[in-house]
Structure 1
Amino acid sequence: MKNFLFFCLLALFVTACSTNNPTYVSKDYIKAIQEDDIRRAKKLVYVPASVQSELSKEDIDKESEKKILSLKSGIDDINSCEVVKTEEIGGLATKVFMECKNKNGKIVDKDFSVINDGGTYKIILSL
């Protein structure tokens, strides 16, 4: 009985600490952009199959990078972010609403649409 209880608690802990959820992905995306880790930020971006069939991989990379760099100016001076709420959109997508504080104490609202792409959550960017 003790072993069963231990494994239940372990499973609960592992699930609670998961890094594969919309909240974590949104925070990690902001952090990657702030750290100029464009490669990591691009890995967190969802590219629909329809876009993949129309554009070459190089064009998708260029467009994603352009979009990421344009977001950088708005989050450069952010110190911390807290998730205010999440809303499920349909079956696979989630909207994550965040309040971020910049270095001057001003609150900046950010929101991201996140989709579950084969078990991995990714940020939806319009290219």
Structure 2
Amino acid sequence: MRILYVEDHPELRETIGMLMEGEGRTVTPCASAEEALALDAGDPFDVLVTDVSLPGLSGTDLARQLLADDPQRWVVLCSGYELGSHPTQWGPNVRVLLKPFELEELEQLLTSIHTALAAAAG
């Protein structure tokens, strides 16, 4: 499972990026939505994990652009504030993780996504 992780805070990007690495998972960290779009363009990632508040293009705008190309795409929006049910209307595989989150929450979410991707691949 290839994860594209977008976080503009350098320490968080490094720490959370390393913590998401694991068996069958590779993480590509980047600092902006614009960089994420460029990285994803040639070879789409399995999962987008993005901070909502980013300089320039926001994480929600990034998610919407990627979901426009593939509505079945897995997206995890990390936000310090409640987003309500709005993002889940963008696609069946959109999840919201409220900050500050426990590492166990993130791990459980990534494990469930990995399981769903494996089942879909058949």
Q: TM-score, normalised by structure 1?
A: 0.26
Using CA pairs under 8 Å that are at least 6 residues apart, name the structure with larger relative contact order, 1 or 2.
1
Bigger Rg over Cα: 1
Which structure is higher in strand share? 1
Q: TM-score, normalised by structure 2?
A: 0.27
